[in-house]
Every structure is written in C-alpha cells, then in structure tokens.
Structure 1
Amino acid sequence: MSHYAPPADARPEGNPTFDPDGGPTLAQQLAAFAAHCATQGVPGDVAASVGQRTLDVLGLCVAAHRLPTSAAAIGHVLDQGGHPQATVVGVPTRVNAAQAAFANGVLAHSLDYDDTHLPSVLHPSASVVPAALAAAEHAGASGELTVRAIAVGLEVAVRLGMAGYDEKLGNSVFFEHGQHATSITGAMGSAVAAAIAYGLDEKGIADALGITASLASGIIEANRTGGTVKRLHCGYAAQAGVTAAQLVRRGFTGPPTVLEGRFGFFEAWLHGQFFPTAITDGLGTEWSVPGIFFKPYPANHFTHTTVDAGRAFAAQGITPELVAEVVIGVAGSTARTIGEPIEVKRTPETGYQAQFSGPYAFAAGLIGGGGLATGLDDYTDELAQDPLRRALMAKVSVVDDAECNAIYPFQFPAVVTLRTTDGRELVEKVLTNRGGPARPLSDAELGRKFSDNVAGRLSADVAATVSTAVLALGDVTDLVGTLAPLSHFIPTATEESP
C-alpha cells in the first residue's frame, strides 16, 4: 500500500490563507496525492482493478454502437474536425483528444452497464477512463502512467462524491438536489487523470481542478420523465477534464480554494453541506477503487437484485404461468426510480425504459436471458412490449421495504414476495449486489462480459489480444497500437435500438 502523506508545504507560496493553521486546501491536498502517485505508483490491487475497469469501459464503448444516440455523438465529433490526437472506439479516424474523451464517455455510459460506487451512487469509470486514455494517447504517455492517472482520477471522483454523502440522510446530497454526481465529480476526477497523463506538476493538477469546477454539470430529471440527455453526461465530464488540463498547460489557473471556498464547488452545488473528511481521511493509504461495483446486468443498478430474485424463483421451478402476484420490496429511494409511476414501469415502450423498470427486471430474471443472467439482447424494444412479459409485469408492484431501507445505499437490496396461482407464498431476499465486494465477479465473468459486448464487431482473436493487453495496461508501451484494433469493426447490419 502507498504511504503517502500530504507534505507540509503543499500550498504554493503566495496563495491566500484558507484555514487558521495555514495548511493546504482540499484541492492542494488532492493534487499532492496525485503528484505523489504519478511518480511513486499505486498499490498492486489498485493497478489490477484499473486494468479490469478499463477493459469493462472499452467493451461498453464497442457495445454502445448499437444505439442511434452513439451515431449522433460520433457524427457530432467528426463534424468538429481538428488534429488527429486520440482514438474514438469504433472510428477509424483519430480526432482531437477532448472530442475523443467526449465520444468515448458518451459510449461508456449509454447502456447503463458501467460500474458504480456505493454509497455515493456514482459511476466513475465512464468519464475518468475515457479522459485518461485520450490524454495519454495525445501525450504519448506510458501504460504505467496511464494506470496511475486512471487510479487517482477514480479515487478523486469517489472521494468528492462521498463528501456529498450524508449518513444521517442516508443518501447523496447531490442526488437529493437533482444533481448527477456521476458527471459532476466525474469531471473533477477526469481533470486529475488528464493532468497526470499530460505530465502536469502538483500545482498544475490543482489548477486543473480549479478550472474544471466551472465546467462540471449534470441534472437527473431524465431519470424520471425521459430523454436521452443522461447519455451525454460522462462525455461532457471527460471532455471537461481533458480541456481543463490542456488549458493549464497553456497557462490558465484556478482558485486554490475551489472546493471548500465561500463561492467554491461545494457551496455552489451543495449549499455548503459537505463532509471534508471523506476527501482527506486515509488519502493514499485507503483506496476506494478496488471496491467499486461492476455491473453484471445492462440496466439501472437498482434493478439488479430483483433480476437475481427472479433467477432464484426460476431455479425453484416457478414459471410465468404460475405467478399470481409479485411484490418487490426495495429502499424508498430506489422505488422512486424503478417503481414510479407504476403504470409506466409495468408497460415500458422501449428497451431503455425497461432498464429502469423493477417489474421488467423481475420478468427478465424469471424468464432468463444471456450474458451473466441477462444481457444486452434482453433489453430490446421488442421484448419491452412482449405480451408474455407485459402480462407478468402487470402482476408486479414495487413498495418501500424497511429492511432494504436499513441497508441502502451500501447495497441496493430487494425482498421479493411471490404468490403462486396454487396459493403458495415464496420470498427471496437478495441483500447484496453481485459485482460488489460481497459477491465479486471473477476474471472469467468480466471476460465473458467483455466478449459479449464486442461479439459481432471484433473477431475472437482480436478481442482476446485486446483483453490481454488491457488487463496488463501497466506494461503497455504502445498505447496507440493497443487501442488501434478497437477502431475497426467487423461490418454489421443496420443497428436497432436496444
């Protein structure tokens, strides 16, 4: 493990004093940590986790090409022109680094299949990995430095997200304000990752944070009433981070008190309600990165334990014809997303709407599917409107459950009660999420997810070569060459919306 401790002189000379002791500001402490890791490295388990997360993101970027919004985002990027600096997954033409980060960030987050940190409930890799890869390609950084950049960027994003997590409230203050912490803190983590990849020093990293705070944004109303704008959020976060680091290289600076200052990040977003110890406690010795939850299923993370419950009932011989009624008990905060309004959740019109539906998750789990229990092909427009699934969803309710409330948001549990047509009552409790530390995915399972995501677009040989290289990213000397196979797909038929 790293033994980093912020140096006493971390604050550059001449900066205004913020606290009575004259110590470094929060941004300066994060910058000192980042600069230390850039030169001294990160723990082995953290580096291994970075390889897994990078592979996961790249597979998601390939799979997301099935979406019309992906074509729109890529078309937008290609229209901008610019210097060939970095790779967009699935695009033969290299584009400028900030635009590559944007495109890959959009792709990575578009299928709701990217990793999640709990209890902050944010998706850090979908912005940080695209930002780091784009900046590293542009700068000619080594695989080793790229791993360090991603690791620190993820850690910063998570710690800033946790600074907005209120234990008494039991939820993220960002979320309660309608803010998308994924894109807001993801932009900040992306800035640190890009700054490391570009070789900025400690002050430059702090300046990148100071600039990015003015670029970070995102609201989550689309989760409630629709729209595909959420797919853009990680793209803009990644782009913001790369752009900020580039501007620092040209001389722009940011305020050293950007995080805790009177008109800083936490005042602007959370009205000053934040927890600074979440940023500083154990910084450099206690890492969050290996504990970030992978997603085994391509749907809103709140639905995953319901999928597991459906699979458990299927294993007991329950078929759709035997179901009379189902009650899904979840935490109240998740019920708002996957169970309200229930009429809409029982009748999703599209695969995208089905990804946010508790009733659909139960149907998908009970009927069974591909991937690691359900896969991308189980969330299509056709299946969302399938009469068998519609009939099953009509029997499903989603309610607030006290046991689940006591566990959330450290897990997204479900207590599912099923009454059969012959009068039996069965209960399945799934209190931990598959893909998290309590039920981790094996390397083989993560490899299966990657293979499924790239199937039909990369040959098996190319997929295996990319997988091996990315999992050992720290040993890569030619990042451009490693990513090159991802820019040329096997020709496919016209894509359909999932």
Structure 2
Amino acid sequence: MDLAYRLGSIAASRSFNDLAPMTVDTTIDALIDSLACALAGTNAPGLAQARGALRRWGNTGVSVWGGFGQAPAPIAAFLNAGSMHALDYDDTDDKVPLHANSVVLPALLADLEENRADCSGHVFLTALAVGLDGAMRVGRAGGPKGSRGWNYSVISGGMGAVLAIANLRRWDTDMTVSALGHQLAQTAGSLQSIIDGTLAKRFQPAMMAKNVLLSAALAQANVDGPRNVFEGKAGFIRLYQDGEFDRDFIETGLDRCALVEDLSLKPYPACRFTHAPIDLALQMHAQGIRPGDVKQIRIRVSAQAVNMVGRRFDSNTANVVDAQFSIAYCVATALERGTLQIADFSEASVRDARIGAFAANHITIETNDTVPFLGMVPVRFDVRLTNGQELEFSASEVSGSPAKRMTPSQLRAKVADCLSFNQVRFNADEMLFKVGQLRANAPMSTVLALLA
C-alpha cells in the first residue's frame, strides 16, 4: 500500500503517552517561539494589506491573532501563518531545510478553535508533535531538493499539517489518506519569491495553511482524494523528490514523533543560512572589532547559501526581504551593533547608508565547494583589518540548532523582543507560563484567549 496509509494510521492513533518528555519539552518550546514570532509579525509589511484584501469573505469564525477580530477558519489560518512567517524568525529543520511550524501550527489552531475549542493541552501537544514530526519526516526522507527550486516549508509542511488535524479529529486511516490526497492535489511551492525578494515569500506557508483546511473539509465530507499520494505515477515522490525517497527512514521513531527534538529555533530574525555568519560577526564584535577596523571580510559558505543569501546588498534599492536574505547586511549590522533584533530589519535600518556601504564594499561571499550544497556549516571568515592584520573565524555549528540549543533565558529574551516590538498587551513571563501549563494538561482555551 502507498506510504500514505502507514503515515495516516500512525498519525491518527498517537496519544500523549507516546511522546518522550524531551519531545514534549521541544514541542512546547517551539510553540512558544512560533506564537511569539506570529505576534511580532502581525504589522509587518504586507499583513495589513492582506487583512484588508481578505475581509470581504467575512469577519466571523476563529481568531486572527493579535487582536484583529475573527475570520473564517481558512482565512484566519492564512493571516496567522503570514504573520508567523513574516519576520523570518520562525523555527527550522536545518537538514531539509524547512519551517516546520509555519503551516502546521496556524492550520491546526484554526481547526481546533473552530471544532474543539475545549481541547486539553495534552491532546493539542500530541497533534502538534504529530504534525511537526510528519513535516520533517517527509522532507528528510526525500532528501533536500532545493536546487530544483522547491520550497519545502510549503510542500512538506502541508502534509504534516494534515497529519496533525487527523490526530486532533481522531480520523481513521482512510479519511486521513483522502485528506493527504487532497493536499497533494493542490501542493506547490516555488523559491522564486525569495530570489526576487518579494513579500509573496511570507505568504507561501499561509496559502498552504488555508489549503490544508480545505483538504480536511473535503475529506470530512467524504469527497475522496487520490490514494497513491506518495508512490503513485504522479505522486509526491516522483513530482517533488525525483523518484528518490528513503521509505525506511519514515519508520525510525515514527511512533514517538522523535524528529521534533531535532527542530531548531532561530536566535536571529533572518534566513537560517545567515545564522552561522551572524554568529561569527558577533564573535568579532565581542573581540572589539568594528566595521571601521575592517578592510575586507571574505566569507565562504555553501552553494545554496550563495544562491539564497549571497547576493550583493544595495541599501539604495533593498527592501526588508532583501535584508532578511542577505549575509552581507546581517554581518555588517551584527558587527556594528553587537546584536541582531527585529528592529534591525525596519525600513530605516535597511536604508542605513553606512552599514549598506560596508556590506557592499567590504564583504565578499563565495562558494566553498567542500561544503555540501545545502549545508549551513562550516562557514569561514578570512578577515583583513585596516592595520594589515589577518584573522580567521570559523563556525561548525549554528546557534539554535539541537547541537547548540537556545537556553531558557535566550528564548525568553527572544519572546520579550517579539512582544515589545509590536506592543503586545501581555509580557513574556505571562506567555511562557500559560503555554508551559499545557504540559500539565491545562485547557487550550487559555492560550487561544491570549492570542485573540
């Protein structure tokens, strides 16, 4: 039988007792991180326009996070996913790479608020872990195909979100497979929005979150979707994975949602490929080096990093998305300021002529052919100072990854930055406490009220 049957049967039957304590902890941390990112992004460029454009389809249903009223569940999921992904601050699975929560969480919470608003914390955390694990598992089993131009946050995230809803609704296997089939029928995701530096990038997971709810509605109404979702002649594996897929990988830890423990949380609000270079820039700053001390920084990274974040930065024409996807801008800013926060990606900051000039004229970015195509590390800096001294800096791990996790204090600082940036009416400690109470099976209604 098609792989969808195996994924569907396991996903729908998982319970909280199947999750290891570490899986529960990482699911909660990822939830806190994602909701903070969403609340910070509600007024990011493009979000107000999107709310205005979609208002015509109704203002009742489920919450549009951040105090923007309500909307029909698919529209609310779209808007909430857009705000979560807008600042490029949301979690990643570095090995694909993909933003696991960007589709799974907005779709799942919209479905929950519409159909099971009295849901317990344990039930919700189980469904979320199933969805995150499913998105990561599908992405990793096929291996990254970023060179083809696919956006795996969108492609794999949609499959994970369906599995999360199947678990929440306790569907049987056939209905889950049908919903996965409907999701296949409407899956697409191009990286061109990143290449062109457009705001469409932040709405790609949003499109898929909306579509997941439509897939669920069709399956629930007994409108059958394709059954050979993964292994069919025009299935997921052939279309998106060039026919290459490690089916055995799917099985390892599937019953425990073990991959959630591999999720990375981002310490900086920029593309994940910029993070190791930012780490090194902050290391330079900590040693007392400032842009005025530097004649040249030669940065060597993977080929995909060059493709996505290695273009020359021009502060005269750059927008916020360009800055989020620029190693040169991120390194120049971190070296100058000793930090990199949301405010560093405002229109005014992106237009800073001094930082822009340093990024354009003193930083070069090259491919290191010894690094795997999609590798985020190792990264190397060859630095020449104005006094003639030459220095080397290198990174073999990325901050926020499982090997270099954010500490509780770092996560709290990130949440505080997110909430203060958008003047949210509750503080980081309140949010950490209420979401953390889900571990003790507190009702989800308390979290939903906070988001509304």
TM-score, with structure 2 as normaliser: 0.93
Q: Which of the two has greater helix per residue? A: 2
Q: Does the C-alpha gap of structure 1 residues 199 and 283 become closer, same or farther in structure 2, counting only changes over 3 Å?
A: closer
The residue aligned with 1:260 is: 231
Q: Secondary structure at the match of 2:258?
A: coil
User: Which residue of 2 is the match for residue 339 of structure 1?
Assistant: 310
| 1:132 is aligned to 2:108 | yes
Aligned-pair CA distance for 1:346: 7.2
Q: How many residues end up aligned between the 2 structures?
A: 448
* Displacement of 1:387: 2.5
> Could you tell me which of 175, 181, 184 is aligned with 1:210?
181
1:391 matched to 2:357: yes
1:429 aligns with 2:400: no
Q: How does 1:154-169 map to 2 (within 5 A)?
A: 154-165=132-143
Q: What is the CA distance between 1:33 and its match in structure 2?
A: 1.3
Task: Give 5+ residue unaligned stretches, structure 2.
Answer: none
Is the 1:64–1:107 Cα contact (8 Å) retained in structure 2? yes
SS in 1 for 2:37: helix
Judge conservation of contact 2:12–2:163 (CA < 8 Å) in 1: no
Residue in 1 that maps onto 2:342: 376
Closer, same or farther in 2 for the Cα pair 1:48/1:188, shift >3 Å?
A: same
- In structure 2, the residue corresponding to 1:213 is in which secondary structure? helix
Could you say what secondary structure the match of 1:419 adopts?
strand
Q: What does 1:216-227 correspond to in 2, within 5 Å? A: 216-227=187-198
For residues 212-233 of structure 1, the C-alpha deviation after alignment (integer angstroms, 9 at most, x for no partner) is 1112211011221222111111
Give me the whole-angstrom Cα distance separating, in 2, the residues matched to 1:352 and 1:147. Answer: 32
In structure 1, distance between residues paired with 2:63 and 2:255: 31
> Does the aligned pair in 2 maintain the 1:329–1:415 contact within 8 Å?
yes
Checking the alignment, whether the CA contact within 8 Å between 1:62 and 1:457 is kept in structure 2 is: no
Aligned counterparts, 1:478-489, within 5 A:
478-487=443-452
Matched-pair contact (CA < 8 Å) for 1:257–1:264: yes
TM-aligned CA deviation for residue 146 of structure 1: 1.1
Identity across matched positions, percent = 28
CA distance in 2, matches of 1:150, 1:348: 40
CA distance 1:379–1:235, shift in 2 (3 Å): same
Taking the TM superposition and a 5 Å limit, the aligned residue runs for 1:114-133 are: 114-133=90-109
Selected match of 2:10 from 9, 33, 48: 33
Post-superposition offset of 1:319: 1.7
**Post-superposition CA distance 1:11-55 (Å, at most 9, x none):** xxxxxxxxxxxxx42111111211221475422211221111111
Q: Partner amino acid for 1:363?
A: A
1:294/1:441 contact within 8 Å kept: yes
Note the 1:1-80 alignment, pairs <5 A.
24-38=1-15, 40-80=17-57
Aligned partners of 1:183 and 1:218 also within 8 Å: yes
The offset of 1:398, in angstroms, is 0.2
Equivalent of residue 401 in structure 1, options 362, 368, 373 = 368
Q: Which residue of 2 aligns with 1:444?
A: 409
2:329 to 357, 360, 363: 360
Q: Distance in 2 between matches of 1:413 and 1:109?
A: 26
Helix, strand or coil for the counterpart of 2:67?
A: coil
Cα distance between partner residues in 2 of 1:361 and 1:318: 16
Matched, 1:108 2:79: no
> Match for residue 129 of structure 2?
151
Secondary structure (helix, strand or coil) at the match of 2:226 reads coil
Aligned to 2:418: 453
SS at match of 1:325: strand
**Alignment-mate amino acid for residue 277 of structure 1:** D
8 A Cα contact 1:105 1:238, kept in partner: yes
Q: Shift of residue 468 of structure 1? A: 1.1
Over 3 Å off, 4+ runs: 38-41, 344-348, 408-413, 474-478
Shift of residue 483 of structure 1?
1.9
Q: 1:128, 1:187 within 8 Å by CA — same for their partners in 2?
A: yes
Whole-angstrom CA distance in 1 between matches of 2:323 and 2:213 = 33
Q: In structure 2, what is the Cα distance between the partners aligned to 1:230 and 1:472?
A: 34
SS of the residue 1:243 aligns to: helix
Q: Which of 70, 75, 78 is the equivalent residue of 1:99?
A: 75
Quote the RMSD (CA, aligned, Å). 2.0
Which segment is superposed worse, 269-278 or 241-250?
Answer: 269-278
Q: Give the C-alpha shift of residue 348 in structure 1.
A: 5.7
2:305–2:374 Cα contact (<8 Å) kept: no
| Contact in 2 for aligned 1:114/1:294 (Cα 8 Å) | yes
Shift of 1:268: 2.5
TM-aligned CA deviation for residue 435 of structure 1: 0.2
Please say if residues 298 and 355 of structure 1, whose CA atoms lie closer than 8 Å, have aligned partners that are also in contact: yes
Amino acid at match of 1:358: I
Checking the alignment, whether the CA contact within 8 Å between 2:124 and 2:444 is kept in structure 1 is no
> Which residue does the alignment assign to 1:20?
none
Is the contact between residue 189 and residue 241 of structure 1 (CA under 8 Å) also seen in structure 2? no
In 2, are the aligned partners of 1:338 and 1:345 still within 8 Å (CA)? Answer: no
- Maintained 8 Å contact 2:137/2:250: yes
Structure 1: which 5+ residue stretches go unaligned? 1-23, 166-171, 488-498
Distance 1:348 1:51, change over 3 A: farther
Of residues 427-436 and 285-294 in structure 1, the stretch that sits farther from structure 2 once superposed is 285-294
> Is the 2:96–2:139 Cα contact (8 Å) retained in structure 1?
yes
